[in-house]
Each structure stands twice: as C-alpha cells, then as structure tokens.
C-alpha cells in the first residue's frame, strides 16, 4: 500500500484494474453497474455515479469507453480530477474537445495513463518537429479477441477511431496514441491462436527519424484482455501525482 494520499479516490468499474488499485491505495468510494463486483473492496459502495462524484475528488474510470461518454461530462463539470483508462471513450474529436474545454474551465485535471504501451514520451518529443505517420500493430490471443482462427490472422486494418468501435476493450491504447500524436493513427489488429501475450508494436515516423517500440505484455491474471502493464500504469501515475521531480517528458 502506497502512503495514504490526502485526496479521496473514487473508482468507477470494480473489475481487474480497480481491484489492483485498491490494493495499492486507500479508496473512498466505488461504483459498478454490477454491484456485487464492489463487495470485496474496502470502500463505500455507491448506488450511482452522482453519489461517487460527491464523495470523491479524484475519480478513476476503469469500466468501458461508454462509461467515459456517460460520466466524464458530469465529473469534469464538478471540477473533479479524472483518470481515464478507457481512453477509447474520447475517440470522437468533438466530444473530446468538449471534455478538455470543460476541464480547463472548471480547473479539473484529466489523466490518460500510458496503459499497456510505451513510447508516449517519444511521440510527444517527436511531435515538436512534426510527425509523418504513427501505426499500432496489436496482436492478441484469438479467443481473447473473440475469433476462432487456425493461424495468425489480420482481423482489422484501418483508423483508430474505427478500431475502438470494433474492439472497445482491446485497443484503447490506439486512441491514446491518436490523441498524443494529433492524428487518427493507423491500426492493425491480429488474432493469433498461438500467442499468449498482448503484443503492441508502435511504429513512428517523423522529422526526428523513425522508432519501433515493441511491448510483449503478460495478460493480467484476472482479465487476459487487459495487459498487466495496464494495471501497473495507473498505480504508478497515482503514486506520482505529488512528485516534485519529473522524469521523461
């Protein structure tokens, strides 16, 4: 357990990520559409999101892209800080701009963790000189993705804004990359019956040169769709909120 922070943390969605965050931090309140999912977390169980917003000042979304669409406006309108795991909920540019504008107006902070990937720092620096192309190539076990295939198969090729509609629980990282890069990035999704890991390859081209970042993630034991790194990322982010020293960009 990290040292108790002064802020009151609330979590929306009491699955894999939430349970791991609750092992690391004192949590004030939780909410899940399936109330029984909250039972073994030591926190007040709310009947709805409004109760949770009133009780907490730092709200973690660990539910689904739709939950971001449904709840983010009222969280940000109340000036509460929000950590968003389901970044795919921000795929629509108009909605995203609305949320970011609300945050600026109401003094709320929005945190989008690196989740299951690396290289966000590199893309931010590279963007200063100009980016030409960013591609995400994701490979997951075919059963995890819902496919019955005999060999590695390309099941999606297109833009991130379309990929997230097809795989709302599997390519949130593509929308994060799009937001950071400032372009609707190219995405390829492969279903592979022989692979156990969630593999993300990020290819970046720009005036800085070229980068290839390959992350071979272990799935989280409680939810193979979600990489273990995506569980660790928000835990690190929350633990570093009050840091005085910044490392990386």
Ligand X SMILES: O=C([O-])CC(=O)C(=O)O
Annotated binding-site ranges for NAD(+)? 116, 172
What letters, b where the CB count within 10 A reaches 16 and e where it falls short, cover 83-120? bbbbbbbbbbeeebeebeebbeeeebebebbbbbbebb
* Nearer of residues 142 and 217 to ligand NAI, judged by Cβ: 217
How far from the centroid of its chain's Cα atoms is residue 240's Cα? 17
Residue linked to tokens 């990359």: 177
**Contact between 230 and ligand X per CB under 6 A:** yes
| Region 115-134 residues binding ligand X, contact defined as CB under 6 A | 115-116
Q: Which of 70, 169, 183, 205 binds ligand X (CB under 6 A)?
A: 169
Encoded one letter per residue, x for contact with ligand X by CB under 6 A and - for no contact, window 186-225 reads ------------x------------------x-------x
Encoded one letter per residue, x for contact with ligand X by CB under 6 A and - for no contact, window 29-68 reads ----------------------------------------
Q: Which of 96, 137, 140, 200 is catalytic?
A: 200
What letters, b where the CB count within 10 A reaches 16 and e where it falls short, cover 174-205? bbbbbbbbebbbbbbbbbbeebebbbbbbbbe
**Contact between 144 and ligand X per CB under 6 A:** no
**Contact between 16 and ligand NAI per CB under 6 A:** yes
Residue linked to tokens 């929350």: 238
**Contact between 116 and ligand NAI per CB under 6 A:** yes
Element (H, E) at 154: strand 153-159
- Rounded Cα–Cα distance for residues 70 and 104 (Å): 19
- Rounded Cα–Cα distance for residues 109 and 203 (Å): 29
19 is catalytic: no
| Region 63-92 residues binding ligand NAI, contact defined as CB under 6 A | 63-67, 85-87
**Contact between 159 and ligand X per CB under 6 A:** no
- Rounded Cα–Cα distance for residues 63 and 16 (Å): 10
Q: Which residues are marked as active site?
A: 200
Binding site for ligand NAI (CB under 6 A): 12-18, 31-34, 37, 62-67, 85-87, 115-116, 169, 172-173, 223, 226, 230
């Amino acid at each position: 357990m990290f040292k108790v922070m002064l802020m009151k943390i609330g979590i929306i969605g009491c699955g894999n990520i939430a349970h791991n965050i609750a092992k690391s931090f004192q949590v004030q309140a939780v909410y899940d559409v399936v109330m029984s999912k909250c039972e073994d977390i030591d926190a007040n169980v709310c009947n709805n999101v409004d109760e949770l917003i009133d009780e907490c000042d730092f709200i973690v979304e660990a539910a689904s892209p739709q939950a971001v669409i449904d709840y983010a406006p009222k969280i940000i309108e109340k000036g509460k800080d929000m950590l968003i795991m389901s970044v795919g909920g921000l795929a629509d540019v108009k909605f995203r701009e609305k949320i970011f504008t609300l945050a600026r107006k109401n003094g709320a902070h929005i945190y989008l963790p690196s989740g299951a990937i690396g290289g966000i720092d590199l893309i931010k620096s590279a963007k200063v000189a100009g980016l030409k192309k960013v591609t995400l190539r994701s490979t997951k076990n075919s059963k995890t993705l819902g496919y019955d295939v005999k060999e590695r198969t390309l099941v999606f090729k297109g833009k991130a804004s379309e990929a997230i509609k097809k795989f709302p629980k599997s390519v949130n990282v593509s929308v994060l990359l799009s937001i950071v890069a400032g372009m609707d990035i190219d995405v390829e999704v492969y279903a592979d019956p022989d692979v156990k890991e969630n593999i993300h390859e990020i290819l970046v081209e720009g005036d800085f040169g070229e980068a290839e970042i390959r992350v071979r993630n272990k799935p989280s034991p409680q939810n193979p769709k979600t990489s273990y790194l995506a569980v660790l990322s928000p835990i690190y982010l929350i633990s570093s909120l009050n840091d005085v020293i910044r490392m990386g960009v």
